[in-house]
Amino acid sequence: MNKKTSIGALAVVMLCFFTMGFVDLVGIASNYVKQDLGLTDSQANIMPSLVFFWFLIFSVPTGMLMNKIGRKKTVLLSIVVTVLSLFLPLCGNSYALMLCAFSLLGIGNALMQTSLNPLVSNIVSGNLSSTLTFGQFVKAIASFLAPYIAMWGATAAMPEFGLGWKILFPVYGIIGVIAVVALGMTHIHEEPAGKASNVLDCFRLLGNPFILLCFLGIMCHVGIDVGTNTTAPKILMERLGLDLAAAGFATSLYFIFRTLGCLTGSAILRVLKERSFFLISVVMIIASMVCLAIGDSKWLLYTGIALVGYGNSNIFSICFAQALNHDPEHKNEISGLMIMGLFGGTIFPLAMGYMSDWMGTIGAVLVMAVGAVYLASFVFQIKK
């Protein structure tokens, strides 16, 4: 592949990373759906839970699918499913329809998370980790923009559209269509795939105590990530009396600092041991939980959101790398298992929804704090 083609293919793949970030719109969208339909917190939190439930079901089968049809075609399929999920909410406003839409969004993202990262290795011959880190930065841009697009639709006078905050769906849907066309027209050479792992291979690895600890660490990371994304606007509305459009800034603030963490984390890990950086990150997460639990001022709450955004940004990569390095002979199985750990994005929001119905937003923060305590206990298991 010549340099010009490689750069063009890389640019297209980065557009696909942008579409991967569409999954994070579920945080702000679930708040608007709750407001529109008069849902309880537990009912509203089923939506982000559904999104991440499908990682449990589809991660390993996607590895098998890639061996049959290739990585590029699997990524194309994932974006098509994602685009379908984005146009479905425009067909109505029922709770059942929104649950179907977010289920498809989760399925599409499960396919994409499993197949897009390996596809990058077919384009770049060196600096794979830095390329993947940049992909996460591009992904975070989509996450960051979602609340602003929804807020613009909710507050701007656009009677000719009549979509309100739902303008978010066609905007991202059109970008998804462009990504499908661009990737479909891009030639990417793929080497023959190896033997796919299966569900039993993955679950057997949980018998290894260290692999199990890493798996639980990823579950807690994703739970805190989705939980903050969903709950931060509710905290601002409850404590500061803001409306949803104004409180949506909390989600953007979270993604600003998560993006900053992605950009700086790879550089910091070159000069600082993983255990030390993990410890610093966990301290930031715990401090954020304190701010979110007791904060009653705008700046204290904003500080808590910023701390959890930065602190949680590199937890996944460290847990993932630790697991792979622990057993290099079973990288495929471990990779599938770690992706299944994203199922934590289902468990945490459900628990947070019920606790929030019972105790208010402080109940949701307490659930996230349990995840933070686990990560703190995991610090000294990390190999230097």
Name which residue leads in pLDDT, 73 or 140: 73
Kindly indicate the confidence band of residue 198, based on its pLDDT and cuts at 50, 70 and 90. Answer: low
Kindly indicate the confidence band of residue 1, based on its pLDDT and cuts at 50, 70 and 90. Answer: very low
pLDDT of residue 124: 72
pLDDT at residue 4 tops 50: no
Name which residue leads in pLDDT, 80 or 355: 80
pLDDT of residue 128: 57
Name which residue leads in pLDDT, 283 or 313: 283
Kindly indicate the confidence band of residue 247, based on its pLDDT and cuts at 50, 70 and 90. Answer: confident
Helix axes 3-20, 95-120, angle to 10 degrees: 150
Pairwise CA distance, residues 135 & 133, whole Å: 5
Mean pLDDT rounded to a whole number for the chain: 84
CA nearest 73: which of 130, 107, 111? 111
Residue 354 phi/psi, 5° resolution? -65, -40
Q: Residue range 61-69: average pLDDT? A: 78
Kindly indicate the confidence band of residue 230, based on its pLDDT and cuts at 50, 70 and 90. Answer: confident
Classify each residue of 30-40 as buried b or exposed e, where b means 16 or more C-beta atoms within 10 Å of its C-beta. Answer: bbbbbeeeebe
CA nearest 142: which of 259, 308, 12? 259
Name which residue leads in pLDDT, 88 or 349: 88
pLDDT of residue 55: 83
pLDDT digits (tens, 9 = 90+) for 263-295: 887 778 778 888 898 999 999 999 999 999 988
User: Comparing 91-100, 148-157, 176-185, 314-323, which segment has the lowest mean pLDDT?
Assistant: 148-157
**What is the total residue count of the chain?**
384
pLDDT digits (tens, 9 = 90+) for 31-58: 888 888 888 877 887 887 788 788 888 8
Name which residue leads in pLDDT, 32 or 183: 183
- In angstroms, how far is CA 295 from the centroid of its own chain? 26
Q: 59: Cβ–Cβ under 8 A, 6 or more apart, which residues?
A: 110, 113, 114, 336, 339, 340, 342
pLDDT of residue 3: 45
pLDDT at residue 231 tops 70: yes
pLDDT of residue 191: 66
pLDDT at residue 107 tops 60: yes
Kindly indicate the confidence band of residue 2, based on its pLDDT and cuts at 50, 70 and 90. Answer: very low
pLDDT at residue 168 tops 70: yes
CA nearest 165: which of 153, 149, 147? 153
